């Protein structure tokens, strides 16, 4: 990256000292990760955000829903900054709050809302998290989805249901692969169709009502790519993120959050070959970090997460230098009522065992 910008970022961080805390998600570019005080998956970053109450500013190098959660979890005296407001998440955008409220109204009408517990993936707007908090549910991330879903099913009781938002794949993979549930217990709620496109019988018989959302990056990994990797590299271990489609996940050796993918590869003996199905910035970094292993990208036709990539060094320098000049650019401020209820759902997640 541009040496002039690197020097400016360094100087601005030095000038701000402990007043600024920079968080970086594992999918961020190398040029940004270099300046992160802490890197992590979305669960680790949610916990870390609250860990430095003395920092006036938390510069969040990640996407909008993560910065919103950080704002909710940090002290009122702290301000969270997202260096580029266009860093959203296509999956989070697939569940709008009015669609989710409409879905709930239909569940009430069908007589099943009483026995339904909402679980929302961290990758959702603060409004969806608030909806979840109001209805006694929990947030989850890819690293605690199993515990969260077990908790929710237990809370729903015998014959109860979970409304899982907004990633159908994480919901299905967790229910079937981690909990041992049956694929037939899952139905998909399509927000663009009346009654989600479901019959009353389908709704009555379902245990998992999966919102029709997916990640535009992870949804592109294919069964053919897993087969091709196994053919090309004998003995290869395939590891993917649980946002991948169920038929892909079923063929892999390991599934896990970004943090788990890193730890699994770090712990493997030298000479292990890996085909990794997650965002490209992370896979390239892993390949460079563990040269004694062989780390390859699972699929030729998948690219970077374009919104994660919006945060680049020029945006980070702009955000940091503005703070040095006494200006806060791109503050993320969640409406207090929404923040209150979203915090209920986030605290529920943080209180889960393990």
Annotated binding site: 25, 42, 89, 121-123, 142, 215, 241-243, 258, 305
Q: Closer CB to ligand 13P, residue 203 or residue 221?
A: 221
215 contacts ligand 13P (rule: CB under 6 A): yes
Minimum gap (Å) between residue 61 Cβ and ligand SF4: 12
41 contacts ligand 13P (rule: CB under 6 A): yes
Q: Closer CB to ligand 13P, residue 74 or residue 141?
A: 141
Whether 238 contacts 283, CB under 8 Å: no
258 contacts ligand 13P (rule: CB under 6 A): yes
95 contacts ligand SF4 (rule: CB under 6 A): no
Binding-site partner at residue 216 among ligand SF4, ligand 13P, none, CB < 5 to 8 Å by type: ligand SF4
Interface positions, 93-122, toward ligand 13P (CB under 6 A): none
272 contacts ligand SF4 (rule: CB under 6 A): no
Q: Closer CB to ligand 13P, residue 116 or residue 143?
A: 143
Bridge partners of 232?
none
Binding-site partner at residue 142 among ligand 13P, ligand SF4, none, CB < 5 to 8 Å by type: ligand 13P
89 contacts ligand SF4 (rule: CB under 6 A): yes
276 contacts ligand SF4 (rule: CB under 6 A): no
Specify the DSSP class assigned to residue 236.
P
142 contacts ligand 13P (rule: CB under 6 A): yes
41 contacts ligand SF4 (rule: CB under 6 A): no
CA distance 18 to 21: 7
Minimum gap (Å) between residue 78 Cβ and ligand SF4: 23
CA distance 250 to 227: 12
Q: Closer CB to ligand 13P, residue 191 or residue 219?
A: 219
Angle at the Cα of 60 from the Cα atoms of 58 and 62, rounded to 5 degrees: 170
CA distance 155 to 162: 10
150 contacts ligand SF4 (rule: CB under 6 A): no
279 contacts ligand SF4 (rule: CB under 6 A): yes
Query: What's the token pair of residue 258?
Result: 């970004």
Whether 138 contacts 119, CB under 8 Å: yes
Q: Which of 39, 123, 252, 348 binds ligand 13P (CB under 6 A)?
A: 123
305 contacts ligand SF4 (rule: CB under 6 A): yes
Position of minimal CB gap to ligand 13P: 41
Helix 64-73 to helix 126-134 angle, to the nearest 10 degrees?
50
Angle at the Cα of 291 from the Cα atoms of 32 and 227, rounded to 5 degrees: 95
Binding-site partner at residue 252 among ligand SF4, ligand 13P, none, CB < 5 to 8 Å by type: none
Kindly list the distances between the CA atom of residue 2 and the CA atoms of 5, 22, 249, in Å, as whole numbers in the listed order.
Answer: 5, 20, 39
Helix 280-289 to helix 258-267 angle, to the nearest 10 degrees?
20
Minimum gap (Å) between residue 169 Cβ and ligand 13P: 11
Minimum gap (Å) between residue 132 Cβ and ligand 13P: 17
Q: Work out whether the CA dihedral 104, 107, 112, 117 comes out positive or negative.
A: negative
SS3 92: helix
Give the DSSP H or E segment for 149.
helix 145-156
Q: Between 310 and 329, how does the x/- string for binding to ligand SF4 read (CB under 6 A)? A: --------------------
For 27, residues 6+ apart whose C-beta sits below 8 A from its C-beta are 62, 258, 279, 281, 282, 305, 308
215 contacts ligand SF4 (rule: CB under 6 A): yes
CA distance 196 to 290: 46
CA-derived radius of gyration, the chain: 21
Query: What's the token pair of residue 23?
Result: 């968080």
Query: What's the token pair of residue 338?
Result: 């929404």
- Binding footprint of ligand 13P on the chain (CB under 6 A): 41-42, 123, 141-142, 215, 241, 243, 257-258
Q: Give contact residues for ligand SF4 (rule: CB under 6 A).
A: 63, 89-91, 123, 215-218, 243, 279, 305, 307-308
């Amino acid at each position: 990256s541009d040496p002039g910008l690197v020097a400016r970022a360094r100087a601005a961080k030095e000038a701000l000292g402990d007043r600024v805390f920079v968080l970086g998600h594992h999918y961020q570019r190398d040029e940004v990760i270099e300046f992160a005080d802490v890197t992590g998956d979305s669960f680790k970053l949610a916990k870390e955000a609250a860990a430095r109450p003395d920092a006036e500013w938390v510069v969040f190098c990640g996407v909008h829903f993560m910065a919103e959660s950080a704002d909710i979890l940090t002290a009122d005296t702290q301000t969270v900054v997202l260096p580029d407001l266009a860093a959203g998440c296509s999956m989070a955008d697939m569940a709008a709050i009015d669609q989710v409220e409409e879905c709930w109204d239909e569940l009430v009408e069908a007589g099943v809302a009483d026995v339904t517990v909402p679980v929302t993936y961290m990758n959702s707007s603060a409004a969806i998290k608030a909806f979840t908090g109001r209805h006694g549910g929990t947030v989850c991330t890819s690293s605690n989805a199993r515990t969260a879903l077990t908790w929710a099913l237990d809370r729903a009781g015998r014959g109860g249901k979970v409304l899982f938002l907004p990633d159908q794949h994480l919901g299905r993979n967790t229910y079937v692969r981690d909990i041992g549930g049956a694929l037939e217990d899952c139905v998909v709620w399509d927000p663009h169709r009346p009654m989600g496109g479901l019959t009353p019988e389908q709704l009555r018989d379902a245990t998992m009502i999966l919102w029709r959302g997916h990640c535009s990056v992870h949804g592109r990994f294919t069964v053919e790519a897993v087969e091709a990797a196994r053919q090309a590299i004998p003995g290869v271990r395939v590891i993917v993120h649980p946002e991948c489609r169920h038929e892909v996940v079923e063929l892999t050796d390991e599934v896990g959050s970004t943090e788990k993918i890193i730890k699994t590869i770090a712990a493997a003996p030298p000479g292990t070959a890996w085909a990794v199905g997650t965002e490209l910035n992370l896979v390239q970094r892993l390949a460079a970090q563990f040269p004694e292993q062989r780390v390859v990208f699972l699929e030729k036709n998948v690219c970077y997460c374009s919104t994660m990539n919006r945060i680049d060094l020029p945006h980070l320098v702009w955000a940091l230098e503005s703070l040095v000049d006494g200006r806060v650019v791109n503050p993320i401020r969640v409406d207090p009522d929404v923040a209150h209820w979203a915090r209920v759902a986030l605290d529920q997640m943080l209180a889960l065992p393990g």
